Amino acid sequence: MKFEKPTRALRLTTIFLREQLREPISLLWTLISPCALFYFITYNSAATGFNNDNYAQSTAGFYAYVACTVAFFGVAFYIVGRRESGFIRSFIYTPEAKNIFLISHLACYLISATAYCITFYIITKPAFSPYNLAELVNILYRFLICFIIFCSPALILANCKLKFQSANTAISVLMFTMILLALLTPKAHSHTLEAINHLNIFSTSKNIMNGSTRPEPFLIGASLILALTLAMTSAKLRINPVWSRY
């Protein structure tokens, strides 16, 4: 009985991972599209050659995008989807079941995010220089901190009274706004935009990935906030779907 909960969480995490592998289109969209966009944007630079020094600068935004996508379209969107489908009402109606579900859900996407990060590195690194294990470990460390940062607002969004389609729209608009703000602020030279952009977690994640911001303070703060949002989600997770199977 002592190890029952961890075992159940591990089994459920495995089931969720298998479910991910059964959706190849989602995997391709999350991973291949940023890789293709990276090579498309940096194609002209390839003529002059890349070097190891600008790898972090060139890929920081892409790593932040992958972390953001996995958090919002994985962690948040799938909770909304399971709620709408009746899965939560049918199987996750007790506090213990909610905790196991949330832990397994986060563990699944933490593993997925790790796989996405490593694969993105494998695909993009040869354009700059040979692979470097120490560099990969450092990138993965920063990437997972960014993923943790995105998970808290993703869970907050999942707790909102959103339907499946409205959640998709809200996530798309939110991500577009964050990315656009991060791209425009350095070029606009506006103090107002700069002040707003300080609250932009996409810009924060990009700075963590390119090395201009120390990740440790954000790791501590983001972990505490994630623990709070997990507790809130466990307490307030809605179990009534839009339609009832009964």
Query: How many Å apart are CA 121 and CA 74, to the nearest integer?
Result: 21
Q: Which range (81-95, 105-119, 151-165) has the least confidence?
A: 81-95
Confidence of residue 243 (pLDDT cuts 50, 70, 90): very low
Taking residues 45-51, report their average pLDDT. 50
Q: What is the DSSP string of 40-100?
A: HHTTGGGGT---GGGHHHHHHHHHHHHHHHIIIIIIIHHHHHHHHHTHHHHH--SHHHHHH
- Please name the residue that has the structure tokens 């600068």: 57
Whole-Å CA distances, 202 to 47, 124, 157, 208:
29, 21, 16, 10
pLDDT for residue 90: 66
156-193 confidence digits (pLDDT tens) = 998 888 887 888 889 989 999 999 998 888 777 777 88
Taking residues 185-206, report their average pLDDT. 84
Instruction: State in Å, rounded, how far the first CA of the chain is from the last one.
Output: 33
1-35 confidence digits (pLDDT tens) = 444 567 888 888 888 888 877 776 666 666 777 87
Long-range contacts of 132-140 (CB under 8 A, 24+ apart): 132/52, 135/55, 139/56, 139/63, 139/209, 140/114
Average pLDDT, the chain: 82
pLDDT for residue 12: 84
Query: How many Å apart are CA 96 and CA 217, to the nearest integer?
Result: 32
Structure-token pair, residue 36: 């293709």
Taking residues 71-77, report their average pLDDT. 89
Percent of all residues in the chain with a pLDDT value above 70, rounded to a whole number: 84
Handedness of CA 102, 106, 111, 116 (dihedral sign): positive
What is the identity of the amino acid at 244? S
The one-character DSSP state at 160 is S
**pTM reported for the whole predicted model:** 0.86
Q: Looking at per-residue confidence, does 231 or 44 come out higher?
A: 231
